[in-house]
Structure 1
């Protein structure tokens, strides 16, 4: 993309009115997905919004205000957070988030000292793509249960509701229509549009409870979760193995986003400000989010899409969206309204989102021309998929186990390193590739 096509470049400052309009546009692009993650894992949507804004500002500072990226809630950690919460309470998931951030710190430090090529040898597409597929497919039962209004924790009692399922189908249909038949900004907000349409339909059929809204204050602080205050800071091996290995995928996602973003704005972000800085910014955002009670963060493909369409690359606009998100998190009535979204509506949109996660893994395999006629590739991907989706576990003691997608990710990395016949990666052409999709 040439500079003649650019409407506002990285450090161009728009007028106050234009800045507000463009920032609102970015906020709505990330809004639906950012609040969906906390809804699915039992966290506060308000704290997710607050921490997304804070994380974005931190990221911009660390990257020397050169990278116009927005950080929102990561879908890759939905299942690990749910499992960690079931294991030791929501505080355990927050502790896990802190250690995920520490992995980012360590990797960014190593990249700063040694360069980035080694990480691409450890995380090639044949490892990362099947793990992404596992993440999407492992979440699919959650989406279906929510869509049908089934509570899997009710001692096997399943309360199927066709009424609720119809709300899920309407939500899904609206998101699909927004994705396929609209253009421009609207096509980048299928989550938000699906939730809005599903919510209106839910109002019509009478499955929305407005009591939380009437009781909520207009202005209220988000529900913070501070270690040592709201939960006991206890670290267990199982907790770490549930959360930390997922960084294998999110680091790859981060690299892909930097490549795509660099192409759009005509810059090489891998070299300047450097992959080590952008990873550090992502890690610091996740760390602060975990300290406050928010989900892990990742750069958002939705906002990268907005940049591509509008050709407005100004970091002031991204910073404005972050400030708006922080302000929104203190509107108690709005947050209470979000909390009234029926489970079926969330389930309907999750059917599409979790499927897209799995499909993005397939696309990575296709884009990288992975040859499944090669038995090595077939073995690695097959083992990752069955271990991850099948829920295999390794029990070391009564209190320590590794399983599911975490085990699948670890096994994939090890297989790629030890099996003979590993091809020579085309690392030198890394800057010209953009094969990782958002999720």
Structure 2
């Protein structure tokens, strides 16, 4: 890989370079970042603002040595939706806060005990099937968004919008070159939006009424809602955080290869995990979804060979500015549901396929009964939505969270477990796709 930088990590771009390169990173994460709050029911403006502040916090904690952008995590879509059902947006924000705390605790342990224990706790035979669940569990949502009109009934017109969006996204994903190949989601949304405009299902009324500067819908603890901890929220969110930490490690290994530095050692995995967790906590405190490092932005770094952290910081500042722009926020909210549904069909499928790819790349041998048992239990419990009701305090663990816990436990207790060295883990995660 030719990773000789055009602008290295600590190099300062010119004002013109800073603006154009920052916009490029903003566009690369834009489609996926606004899709998550769209599905959960949060404000897209808050997704942008929280991603901006979260990225700035990440850069600060990693001592401005790790060029990464943090956007909305897909892994928490179903847990966040269920948290909403339990207690509204306040419950979802509390769950997000708890997930961020898990990152902090893991970072503290890594700083004291090293990082190999987390790699052995979450091998690919556990993480791969959980990633598959993340993609497949939201499949009904994607299909419903694609086929139905606003009243929830099947509409061929709306389905055609989803199909055009899906086709455009596939074409950009497969045939586009250079930077355009990094933003197939955004490009597909634009094409689908234009088609939806042609067939007359876009309403510009909210855009005309919106002001250039508008205060977003902040969700502040003790102000917007009463903080009410429940174990149900804990068990919905915390186990998923353990799995997304594994994805964070994978992204850091890939980023290390792209940039030509060892980010596991310097500034250290504990710092990057802490930065990720801090970004998630910031989101929880202002009303955004949980955060994760973004594969799309790593792809931009690989193609452009511009590694400057100032460019990532510039993208973060632009995201915050966009979030306070009422016209932009209103324009995002005019995107018809089938456009997002069309994109989601491919995106959620890719997430599920990336879990399968992890198993293949890691050479998981399913002739070994141990691996077959672990993967089988995780998949059926997770996709089936199994619920474990504990006999005290009405606590229940369900779906993806229960599957992740069972996977970790089975991996620890079944005979034949192999210790995963750092080199083995790097090889296994080098080709991962973004999941969350």
TM-score interval, normalised by the smaller of the two chains: over 0.9
Gaps of at least 5 residues in structure 2 are none
Tell me how far 1:2 sits from its aligned partner: 5.9
Compared CA separation, residues 33 and 261, structure 1 to 2 (3 A):
same
Question: Structure 2 matches for 1:335-350, cutoff 5 A?
Answer: 335-350=329-344
Which residue among 362, 367, 381 is the counterpart of 2:361?
367
Question: In 2, Cα distance between the equivalents of 1:209 and 1:245?
Answer: 40
Which residue among 276, 282, 288 is the counterpart of 1:294?
288
Residue deviations 1:325-350 (CA, integer Å, cap 9, x gap): 11111110110011011111111110
Compared CA separation, residues 392 and 430, structure 1 to 2 (3 A):
closer
SS of the residue 1:268 aligns to? coil
The equivalent of 2:58 in structure 1 is 59
Q: TM-score, normalised by structure 2?
A: 0.97
Q: CA RMSD in A?
A: 1.4
Question: Structure 2 matches for 1:324-335, cutoff 5 A?
Answer: 324-335=318-329
Are 1:414 and 2:413 matched, yes or no?
no
Question: Structure 2 matches for 1:46-125, cutoff 5 A?
Answer: 46-125=45-124
The equivalent of 1:437 in structure 2 is 433
Question: In 2, Cα distance between the equivalents of 1:150 and 1:198?
Answer: 15
Question: Structure 2 matches for 1:265-276, cutoff 5 A?
Answer: 265-276=259-270
Which residue among 392, 396, 405 is the counterpart of 1:401?
396
Question: In 1, Cα distance between the equivalents of 2:318 and 2:229?
Answer: 35
Q: TM-score, normalised by structure 1?
A: 0.96
Question: In 2, Cα distance between the equivalents of 1:431 and 1:239?
Answer: 33
Question: In 2, Cα distance between the equivalents of 1:66 and 1:139?
Answer: 35
CA contact (8 A) 1:268 1:431 kept: no
Residue deviations 1:63-87 (CA, integer Å, cap 9, x gap): 0000000000001111111111011
SS of the residue 1:394 aligns to? strand
| Residue-pair matches, total | 433
Tell me how far 1:396 sits from its aligned partner: 2.5
Question: Structure 2 matches for 1:314-329, cutoff 5 A?
Answer: 314-329=308-323
Question: In 1, Cα distance between the equivalents of 2:197 and 2:306?
Answer: 37
SS of the residue 1:89 aligns to? helix
Question: In 1, Cα distance between the equivalents of 2:431 and 2:168?
Answer: 28
Tell me how far 1:430 sits from its aligned partner: 3.9
The equivalent of 1:223 in structure 2 is 217
Question: In 2, Cα distance between the equivalents of 1:423 and 1:60?
Answer: 35
Gaps of at least 5 residues in structure 1 are none
Runs of 4+ in 1 over 6 A off after TM superposition: none
Tell me how far 1:399 sits from its aligned partner: 4.0
The equivalent of 1:353 in structure 2 is 347
Are 1:308 and 2:267 matched, yes or no?
no
Tell me how far 1:150 sits from its aligned partner: 6.2
